[in-house]
Structure formats: structure tokens, C-alpha cells
Amino acid sequence: MIQVFTVLGARPQFIKSWALSRALTSCGIQEFVAHTGQHYDDDMSEVFFRELGLRPPDVHLNVRSASHAQMTARMLEGLEPAMRDRKPRAVIVYGDTNSTLAGALAAAKLGIPVVHVEAGLRSFNRSMPEEVNRVVTDHVSDLLCCPTAAAVANLAREGFDHDVTSTSEPDVRQLPSPWIANVGDVMLDVLRHFREVAASRSTMLDRLALSPRQYVVATLHRAENTADAEQLASLLEEIAALARSIRVVFPMHPRTRAVLDGADAYERFASQPGVTAIEPVSYLDLLHLNANARGIVTDSGGLQKEALFLGVPCLTVRDETEWAETVEAGGNRLVGRRPSNLAGALEHMTTGSSAFVDKFGAGDAAGRIAGLIRALVRA
């Protein structure tokens, strides 16, 4: 049996892996899963394995919070021997985290083909750790699974020219790797499967006494917005101002909570009128909250897409985005890291063009990726 090695470490990766793990099994491919421990709280890790029915990881590295260099180094130290012992035919990494980079580097050093799911994304801001991670990972990968045509075009500008989008299993004798393919977005696969499940299972609206379209969901977690206490305080002031016109539900990322606790600011923010600060929630609960929201305020790449898929207006508190398609659709607006009048910006937002969802595929990305992996390992 063909065996592959998957590296996971952060909550978006757990969610994406649900779809691809099922597709790999259907293709007769055995998967060995390593959890780096980059996200380690129950609310950020184990809850997703339980809720989505993911198989427990075969190895857990228990790497906790540290500097980028320390975290990546510890992951490399744990992943290299695990890959060497397992001898997989390919290593799968997702997205743009330190776990992504460590998995790709460990595999490349061992001469194991690297499969990058969500390849080709570019914010063109090298000050973002995520941008460095995704660029380096792309350039050591053998199979680049892009979620959109724009991602393929980004890679083409960087010299990648073996586009195999038109076929699920390329002729390996004719086309050497690295291969690139527009396979669609795995998150669309997951959302389409779980949207009705979330609606039937989640009790978040009842628990928080929320009415559909009468609240906004806000999230902040990126280092550019949370590492600096002054920057974070400025954003929270704007969110608190928004909460004076519409209720704001704020699932608090552990990184954000730690900064606020260190500055003794959490209680002040959580006590603002209209603000409902809560612990991180599961995928199904967050999906249900987002689907029924009047709008979303976030710095998350994944939520920008999810908002478009759900037809919910999104305000992104960043200066740029790797998901330019969401802005082109009209459903996402970049308001910058120092926004003003979020309420006014939200009032003028539309839900975006549903036609743009087609740019993210047909909800069959996982099956297409599995077919390409099978072709790759037979090369």
C-alpha cells in the first residue's frame, strides 16, 4: 500500500485534512499523521479531531509556543526521524504555518517528495511570517496544489511551468516535477459538507442569545496585529466602537488573550457594551456563527474565504491579502491595520458576487489532490 506522511499543527490544517484524508483512503493510500503541537489547547486542537471524526495523530511532537526559529527547529528535530523511520512516498503539508515550513524542509532534506496544499498564495508582504513560510515551502515542493487560477499565475511568474490542471493523473514519463495544478479550495469541500451539519448541531445562537443578522463575528490572531500591544489596543477600540451599534461576538485566540492579560486589558475590553468575548469555539460552532452573522471582522485568511462562500460581508483588518479574489468579488474589504468607522464600512458592504465562488473550484478539490498524489508517488 502507498503510504504518505501528513504534517498538521494548526486548527485550519486540521479542518482541511478532514477532506483530503477521506479522499486518500478512497484512493487506497495509507496516511501517517504527525501533529507538531503548534496549536495545543483543547479548544484549538483536540476539539477538531473529536468533532470532525479525525483519526488521532500517529505521533505528537508537543512543540509549544516559542520564537519562530525555536519552534521550527524543534519541529524539524521531531519530524526528521519520524519521516526517516516511516519512509513515506510523499509528505503533505498545508497552508503557511511554521508546521508547514518544518514539514517541507524535513522532507526535502530527506529527498521525499513534498505536496503543498494551498500553494501559490502571495500577499507580497515579506514582513509576514506566513508569507516567508509559503514562499519557501512552494520552492521545495514537488506537487503544488493551488486553490485558484491566481495562485497558479503567481507560481508561473516565479518560474513554475509544469501546469497539470487539465488532468487528474499526469503522464509521469512526459512531465517531470514540480507539478502545479489549480485543484480548487479544500475548505470549500469542507464547508459544503458541514454547513447543514453545523446548522443542526450547533447551539451557539441560543447559548449567546443571538438573532440571525443582528451581530458581527470578530477575530484577531495574526502577529502583525497582536504582537504589539498598542496596535492591538487600537483595533480593539474600533471593535468596541462597532459594538455600540451592533453586538460583536469575539472568539478570543490564545495569542490575543495572552497579550491582553499581560496588559491587564482583557477585562476592560470584555466589559465594553455590546462586546461578547468568548473562548475559541469549534469548527461547527464558528461555521454556524459566521453563517448567521451580519458581517465578519477578521485578519484570518480562512474567514475571508468562508465569508464569501457563505455570502456574509467581511472587513479585513490588514493592508493586503493573499485572497485577492474575495476583494474582487465585492464581499471583502481591506480596511487596514488602523481602521476607523467599522460600522460605516460594514453598512456599505454587500455580500459579494456568488459567481466568484466558482474561482475556488467545484467542491471536489480533495479528490483531485488525491489523484495527483497517486500519480506523483508512481513517478
Only one residue has cell 498545508, namely 94
Q: Delineate the domains of the chain, giving CATH numbers in brackets.
A: 2-185+361-377 (3.40.50.2000), 191-360 (3.40.50.2000)
Which tens digit of pLDDT belongs to each residue from 13-35? 999 999 999 999 999 999 999 99
SS3 of the chain? CEEEEEEECCHHHHHHHHHHHHHHHHCCEEEEEEECCCCCCHHHCHHHHHHHCCCCCCEECCCCCCCHHHHHHHHHHHHHHHHHHHCCCEEEEECCCHHHHHHHHHHHHHCCCEEEECCCCCCCCCCCHHHHHHHHHHHCCCEEEECCHHHHHHHHHCCCCCECCCCCCCCCCCCCCCEEEECCCHHHHHHHHHHHHHHHHCCHHHHCCCCCCCEEEECCCCHHHHCCHHHHHHHHHHHHHHCCCCEEEEECCHHHHHHHHHCCCHHHHHCCCCEEEECCCCHHHHHHHHHCCCEEEECCHHHHHHHHHHCCCEEECCCCCCCHHHHHCCCEEECCCCCCCHHHHHHCCCCCCHHHHHHHCCCCHHHHHHHHHHHHHCC
Confidence of residue 45 (pLDDT cuts 50, 70, 90): low
Average pLDDT over residues 91-99: 96
Q: Which position among 60, 139, 221, 348 bears the catalytic label?
A: 221
Taking the C-alpha atoms of residue 163 and residue 150, their distance in angstroms, rounded to an integer, is 13
The residues near 110 (Cβ < 8 Å, ≥ 6 apart) are: 80, 83, 84
Q: Is the pLDDT of residue 93 over 70?
A: yes
Q: Is the pLDDT of residue 132 over 70?
A: yes
pLDDT for 262 equals 75
Q: Is the pLDDT of residue 96 over 90?
A: yes
| pTM score above 0.85 | yes
Amino acid code (one letter) for 267? E
Q: Is the pLDDT of residue 347 over 80?
A: yes
Cell of 285: 460552532
pLDDT for 1 equals 82
Q: Is the pLDDT of residue 217 over 80?
A: yes
Q: Is the pLDDT of residue 41 over 70?
A: no
Q: Which of 89-103, 134-148, 343-357 has the lowest mean pLDDT?
A: 343-357
How far, rounded to the nearest angstrom, does the alpha carbon of residue 79 sit from its chain's CA centroid?
A: 21
pLDDT for 254 equals 83
Confidence of residue 119 (pLDDT cuts 50, 70, 90): very high
Which tens digit of pLDDT belongs to each residue from 219-244? 999 888 988 888 888 999 999 999 99
Amino acid code (one letter) for 248? V
Give the count of beta carbons closer than 10 Å to the beta carbon of residue 1. 6
pLDDT for 265 equals 85
Rg (CA), the chain: 20
Known catalytic membership, residue 221: yes
Average pLDDT over residues 291-299: 97
Q: Which of 101-105, 166-170, 327-331 has the lowest mean pLDDT?
A: 166-170
The full length of the chain comes to 379
